[in-house]
A = this chain, B = another copy of it.
Amino acid sequence: MIDVHSMLKMCNLKRTPFRVNLLELFVQTKSSIQTHTIRETFEGRFNKATIYRAIEAFEKNGLIHKVPDINNLLRYALCRENCVNGSHKHTHSHLICNSCRETYCIDQITTPNIPSAIGLKIDYVDLVLNGECFSCQLN
C-alpha cells in the first residue's frame, strides 16, 4: 500500500496536516464516506471551505471519486487498484443498501463498456445496485 505522503506528492498536492489526515481517513475507510461524516470529523479544527476544496482537489487528481447516495448528499470513496488511472474511469459498481443506507463499492461487478458507436460523450458510468448489503443480510 502506497503511503499518503507519496500519494499527495504524486498529485503535486502539498503535505499539510489536514490533507494528510483527510487522505488517511479515505485510506482507512473500506466503503464510501458522506461529506457529512468528513465534516463531523474535521469541522471545528478546519474551515468547511477548506474541507470542500480539499475534497475537490482529491477528486480532480483521481485520488477519490464520487459515489451515488440515496439521501442526495455528496459521498466519496478512495480510488483503489481497480480504478483505471489516467482516464479516471471506475469499472466497479456501487451497492446502496436499503437497510442501513450505506453505499459500498462492489468490485466483482464491472460496469459495461459503452460502445463509442452510439456517439455519446460519457464522462463516467455508474452501475447502481439497490439491494441489501452482506452485513444486513445476516441480521
Residues of A within 8 A of B (CB): 66, 68-70, 72-74, 87, 95-96, 98, 106, 108-109, 111-112, 114-115, 118-134, 137
Listed by A's residue number, 25 A-B pairs whose Cβ atoms lie within 8 Å are: A66-B70, A68-B69, A68-B130, A72-B72, A72-B74, A87-B130, A95-B122, A106-B120, A108-B115, A109-B115, A109-B118, A111-B112, A112-B127, A119-B134, A120-B131, A120-B133, A121-B137, A123-B130, A123-B131, A123-B132, A125-B129, A125-B130, A126-B126, A126-B128, A126-B129
Closest to A74 in B: B72
Residues of B within 8 A of A87 (CB): 130
A128–B125 touching, CB < 8 Å: yes
Shortest CB-to-CB span from A10 to chain B, Å, is 24
B122–A126 touching, CB < 8 Å: no
CA distance A124 to B137 in the complex (A): 16
Closest to A72 in B: B72
